[in-house]
Amino acid sequence: MSVEYRIRPFEPEDLDRLHEVRTAAFKPVFKSFREIVGKKIAVIALADAEREQAELLDKMCEDSSPHNVLVLEQDGSIVGFCGVKVDDETKVGEIDLNAVHPDAQGEGLGNRLV
């Protein structure tokens, strides 16, 4: 059975699912950060990290944002996303917040998306 992948532009109705993907993908990352710095520092240094990341995704997906958000679908279900922006003057691109859901990780999908 072959799996079909599709990369397409973000649509506003995708936002809730992108937050689900982001939360699932970064859960072990934030857990690791907290373990590395310890409880005392994590309470201060990482207190707002997840909220700030969620706000970044919201801003990236706004119509007025300079970002282009690409959505990765696997068999019709959203499993990843990537924010990209290009400076109009320098033509230099920047890859921003991106994630692949843990259930779809390890298949090279992040590489395809980027």
Task: Summarize pLDDT for 29-63 with one digit per residue, the tens.
Answer: 888 888 888 888 888 777 788 889 999 999 999 98
Give yes or no for residue 24 having a pLDDT over 90.
Answer: yes
- Domain of residue 49, residue span: 5-113
Instruction: Name the residue with higher pLDDT: 3 or 111.
Output: 111
Give yes or no for residue 84 having a pLDDT over 60.
Answer: yes
Going across the sheet that includes 5-9, the strands are: 5-9, 68-74, 77-86, 93-100
The enclosing domain of 18 has a CATH number of: 3.40.630.30
| Number of domains forming the structure of the chain | 1
Determine the length of the chain.
114
Q: For residues 102 and 26, is the Cβ–Cβ distance under 8 A?
A: no
Alpha helices in the chain (DSSP H): 15-37, 39-45, 49-60, 109-113
